[in-house]
Chains A and B, each alone.
Chain A
């Protein structure tokens, strides 16, 4: 009997492995997407020059105090950002939520033209040429969108293009739950 147990161990171990692999497989499409450790934490400082008036600095905490807002990290070099632009415009209009655009590692002139061509969904647009603020927020690939609550806490983050569907499924419930 004892010997029988010993020889069944490999099979048992394998079954466990298969279980783990199956779970891993289900999660595979999300591989490489880092879950931000900043969720639930106060938003990092954001003090950057405006795209249209580089001499003026915008402080996100002050500008958006007491309001829900989205921080959208984008760039003209990012094809996915162009793709999400329409959805972003619709969301900001339909749901009346202010969007702060952070133009990351980009050329100012190109960015202005881009917005002129495609429309401007942002309440304000700032530029981060060096990428320091982006790193402070844990950005690693545009587009990324953060949802910040009136108390200044990051409530959610989406890596990759935002769509109306994702907004309704992931972002909206978080806002209505705490009473927007």
Chain B
């Protein structure tokens, strides 16, 4: 049963084809605000569709959300306030950039930690192999042949 609903829900979304849309509203007069608008609309996920930003999605709710963002910017709200507003209604699902929080900390720290870990592992291996080399007078030329 559930899959029927899912299928219908999917069909409700613009013929289920990943069409992209163009933001028809005129750009904001202040280029700084316009830049913020572009940044936010690319950062916010279209809650209806499969993995698109509201800047790109053709679905009506994406247009409505773009309008919300625009009006909030013009009203003087900060980026963080706007994000908070939408997260309060739609959950963190709506943010393409995961927020910094206890749950997401690992996600953001992992790459750096892996880099450190990798450097450490690499260094250890190189040290060991370098030590092994001390007892080995032979050399290897570029073709891999020992001499």
Footprint of B on A, CB under 8 Å? 29-30, 32, 34-38, 78-80, 83, 105, 130-132, 134-138, 140-142, 160-161
Q: Which residue of A lies closest to B61 (CB)?
A: A140
Tell me, rounded to whole Å, the shortest Cβ–Cβ distance linking A103 to chain B: 14
Tell me, rounded to whole Å, the shortest Cβ–Cβ distance linking A163 to chain B: 8
Tell me, rounded to whole Å, the shortest Cβ–Cβ distance linking B4 to chain A: 9
Q: Is the interface of A mostly helix, strand, loop or mixed?
A: loop
Q: Are A29 and B12 in contact (CB under 8 A)?
A: no
Tell me, rounded to whole Å, the shortest Cβ–Cβ distance linking A161 to chain B: 6
Q: Are A34 and B91 in contact (CB under 8 A)?
A: yes
Closest A-B pairs by Cβ, 10 of them:
A138-B89, A131-B64, A140-B47, A160-B5, A29-B2, A37-B91, A80-B8, A140-B48, A34-B93, A138-B90
Q: Which residue of B lies closest to A77 (CB)?
A: B12
Number of B positions contacting A (CB below 8 A)? 23
Q: Is the interface of B mostly helix, strand, loop or mixed?
A: helix
Q: Are A29 and B90 in contact (CB under 8 A)?
A: no
User: Is B6 part of the contact surface with A, judged by Cβ < 8 Å?
Assistant: yes
Q: Are A80 and B9 in contact (CB under 8 A)?
A: yes
User: Is B65 part of the contact surface with A, judged by Cβ < 8 Å?
Assistant: yes
Q: A35-B91, A37-B88, A37-B90 are in contact. Are A135 and B65 (CB under 8 A)?
A: yes
Chain A to chain B contacts (Cβ below 8 Å), 6 pairs: A30-B2, A37-B89, A38-B89, A138-B90, A140-B48, A140-B90
Q: Are A29 and B89 in contact (CB under 8 A)?
A: no
Question: Complex formed: what's the CA distance from A66 to B110 in Å?
Answer: 50
Specify which chain A residues have a CB less than 8 angstroms from the CB of B47 in the assembled complex. Answer: 34, 140
Q: Give residues of chain B (1-24) contacting chain A, Cβ–Cβ below 8 Å.
A: 2-3, 5-6, 8-9, 11-13
Q: A80-B5, A141-B9 are in contact. Are A37 and B48 (CB under 8 A)?
A: no
Q: Are A131 and B9 in contact (CB under 8 A)?
A: no
Q: Are B68 and A135 in contact (CB under 8 A)?
A: yes
Q: Are B6 and A32 in contact (CB under 8 A)?
A: yes
Q: Are B89 and A137 in contact (CB under 8 A)?
A: yes
Partner of B9, one of A35, A134, A135, A160: A160
Question: Complex formed: what's the CA distance from A32 to B93 in Å?
Answer: 9
Question: Complex formed: what's the CA distance from A161 to B61 in Å?
Answer: 19
